Amino acid sequence: MTVSAAQAQPNFGIPKDPTDRRLLTVIKTGTGTGTVSGPGISCGTDCGELHIVGTTTILTATAAGSAVFTGWSGACTGTGSCTVTMSQARSVTANFDVFFNLTVTKAGTGTGTVTSAPSGISCGSTCVASFVSDTTVILSASAGSGSTFSGWSGACSGTGTCTVGMSANRSVTATFIPTTFTLTVTKSGTGAGTVSSTPAGISCGGTCAAAFIADSTVALSQTPAAGSTFIGWSGSCSGTGACSVLMSQARSVTATYTFPGWSLAWDHDGINLLSFSLERRTPCTTGTYGVIATPAASPMTYTDTTALPTAQYQYRISAVGSGGASSPSNEVCTP
C-alpha cells in the first residue's frame, strides 16, 4: 500500500468539531447556599451545559450568607477553582455548609476534661469548635485525679453524656468539684470533751462528721470537759498527742474520755451530831436536794460515781444533832 504525502501530514491546527459536545453537570449539596459559575454555568438556576469535547472549563464556587464553601467532589477536589477537561461527560458537586460554634466552659474548683464526638472539642485546651449545622455532637466529661464531675449546665443537664443539636451556636458548662471524703469523730468512755478540726468542719460538740477534700490532711485537737480525762485516740489515730488524718478515703476517729465522778471531802466540827447526809441537786441553785450518801463520821471523803460529766451539781452536808434539827452546810457547786 502506498501512502501519499497529503495523507501523511499530521492534522494540526484543525478546529475541534463544534458539534461534538459533552454535558457538564453541577450539583450543590450541604446545609448552606451558594452559586457555581463558569462558561455557560450559572448555578443558581443553570446547572448543566454542553461543552465541546477537549475544551477546558473553569468553575468558581461562591458561598452565600453565613454559608461556607467546603469543597468539590466528583470531577474536582479541594476548595479552589475547579478545572474540568471535557473529554467526556462530567459531573461536579459543590458543597456549601453553615457552621455553628459549640463553646465549652469548665467551672468549679476541681479538674477534668471534656471531649466531643465528632472530634473538635478537647477541653483541656480546645474548648470552642465549629460544627456543620444540624450535626449532633456528643460531649463526654472526665474528672481529673481528686475531682468529681458534678454535672452539665447550659445546653445540657445531668451527669451523663451531653447531646447537643447544632442548629444554632451552643454553650455548655461542665462543673468539676474536688472529691471529698467524710471524717467521722466518735466520743466514748464515761467522760466528756470536745474535738475540733483544722481546717474547720468538725466541732464535736455538735458537728461530729464533715467532708474534706481528697488527699488533704486534717488535724484534730481535743479538750476534756471539767473533771474528765482524755484517755486517747483510736481508729485512724492513736496515742494521746495530736491526731493528723490523711483524707485519702473516708476516715473515722474515736476520742475516749474517762470521768471517775466528783470527789468530795468534808470535816464537820460540831458536837453531839448523830448523823450526816450528803445531798445533791442539779443544776446549781435550782431543783430539790436528794440524799446520795449517809456517811458515818466526819471528816470523810466521798466520790460521786453516779454524776454525769456533762451535768452541773450542787452538793451540801446536812448534819442532824441530838435535838433532831438538820443543819445544812458547805454547799459546793461543780463547774
Between these two residues, 300 and 88, which has the higher pLDDT value? 88
Kindly report which listed range (3-12, 21-30, 225-234, 236-245) carries the lowest average pLDDT score. 3-12
Each residue's pLDDT tens digit, 42-78: 999 999 999 999 999 999 999 999 999 999 999 999 9
* Amino acid 161: pLDDT: 98
Q: What is the largest CA-CA distance in the chain?
A: 174
DSSP helix/strand/coil, 5: helix
Q: Which cell numbers in the block locate residue 283?
A: 443544776
CB atoms within 10 A of CB 105: 15
Grid-cell match 470521768, residue found: 259
Torsion of CA 116, 120, 121, 122, to 10 degrees: 100
Note the pLDDT tens digit of each residue in 104-136. Answer: 999 999 999 999 999 999 999 999 999 999 999
The count of C-alpha atoms lying within 13 angstroms of the C-alpha of 13, restricted to the half-sphere facing its C-beta, is 2
Residue 4 has pLDDT above 70, yes or no: no
Show Cβ contacts of residue 281 under 8 Å, excluding neighbours closer than 6 positions.
287, 288, 289, 290, 313, 314
Check: CB of residue 63 under 8 Å from CB of residue 36: no
Alpha helices in the chain (DSSP H): 5-8
Phi, psi of 174 (to 5 degrees): -110, 125
Q: How far apart, in Å, are the Cα atoms of 167 and each of 133, 201, 333?
A: 5, 47, 79
Radius of gyration over alpha carbons of the chain, in Å? 47
Output the DSSP codes for 240-296. SS-EEEE-SS-EEEEEEEE---EEEEE----SSEEEEEEEEESSTTSS--EEEE--S
Distance of CA 82 to CAs 26, 43, 85, Å? 11, 14, 10
High-pLDDT (> 90) share of the chain, % = 76
Say how far apart CA 233 and CA 188 lie, in whole Å: 10
CB 143 within 8 A of CB 110: yes
DSSP one-letter string for 113-147:
EEEEESS--EETTB-EEEEETT-EEEEEEEE-TTE
**CA pair distance 96, 155, nearest whole angstrom:** 26
Quick one: CA dihedral 158, 159, 160, 163, positive or negative? positive
Q: Is 208 helix (H, G, I), strand (E, B) or coil?
A: coil
**Paired sense of beta strands 203-204 and 217-224, if any:** unpaired
- In whole angstroms, give the CA distance from residue 99 to residue 168: 8
CB 34 within 8 A of CB 65: no
Per-residue pLDDT reduced to its tens digit, 193-236: 999 999 999 999 999 999 999 999 999 999 999 999 999 999 99
CA 124 to chain centre: 16
Question: Tell me: the pLDDT tens digits for 275-326?
Answer: 778 899 998 888 899 999 887 666 678 899 999 998 899 998 887 766 555 6
